[in-house]
C-alpha cells in the first residue's frame, strides 16, 4: 500500500482505533485510497477485451476485509466486494449478522464458476450465497 497523505501511523496500528476520532480519520483516508485503487483495477479489467467480453467478465475479483471489526479482532460479518465472473452485481447483500454465514459458502460458488466440481470447501455449510447466481 503506498503512503497516504495525512497518515501518522501504520495501518495495523490505526485498525486498533478504540473509537478515537483522530485515528478514525486516518483510517478513513486509507480505506478511501484502497477503494480508489480497486476502482482503477476494475476499470482497467473492464476496458481490456478478452474473447467475446472483457477481462473483468472472465475474472473473479474478491476484495475483502480480514475483520468485521478490526478494533476487536472480530472475524464475523466481513464486508466484501465481489466483481466480475458473471455473478449478479449492482446490489448489496446483507446476510444474517447473528447467524454468521461461512465465507467458504462463497468460495464454493466461486470454484463452481471456475468449473471446479465441488459442493464443499473448508467450513462451508451450503453452496453459494443467495442472490449472486
| 33-66 pLDDT, tens digit each | 888 999 999 999 999 999 989 999 999 999 987 6
**pLDDT at res. 49:** 96
Q: Where are the alpha helices (DSSP H) in 9-92?
A: 11-15, 21-47
13-22, 83-92, 95-104: least confident range:
13-22
35-44, 66-75, 88-97: least confident range:
66-75
* Calpha distance 80→82 (Å, rounded): 6
7: exposed, middle or buried (C-beta count within 10 Å: 0-12, 13-18, 19+)?
Answer: middle
Amino acid at each position: 500500500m503506498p503512503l497516504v497523505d495525512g497518515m501518522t501511523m501504520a495501518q495495523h496500528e490505526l485498525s486498533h482505533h478504540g473509537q478515537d476520532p483522530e485515528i478514525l480519520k486516518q483510517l478513513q483516508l486509507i480505506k478511501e485510497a484502497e477503494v480508489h485503487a480497486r476502482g482503477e483495477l476494475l476499470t482497467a479489467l473492464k476496458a481490456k477485451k478478452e474473447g467475446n467480453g472483457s477481462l473483468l467478465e472472465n475474472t473473479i475479483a474478491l476484495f475483502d476485509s480480514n475483520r468485521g471489526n478490526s478494533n476487536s479482532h472480530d472475524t464475523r460479518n466481513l464486508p466484501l466486494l465481489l466483481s466480475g465472473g458473471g455473478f449478479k452485481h449492482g446490489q448489496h447483500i446483507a446476510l444474517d449478522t447473528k447467524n454468521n454465514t461461512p465465507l467458504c459458502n462463497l468460495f464454493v460458488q466461486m470454484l463452481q464458476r471456475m468449473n471446479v466440481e465441488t459442493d464443499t470447501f473448508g467450513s462451508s455449510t451450503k453452496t453459494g450465497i443467495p442472490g449472486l447466481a
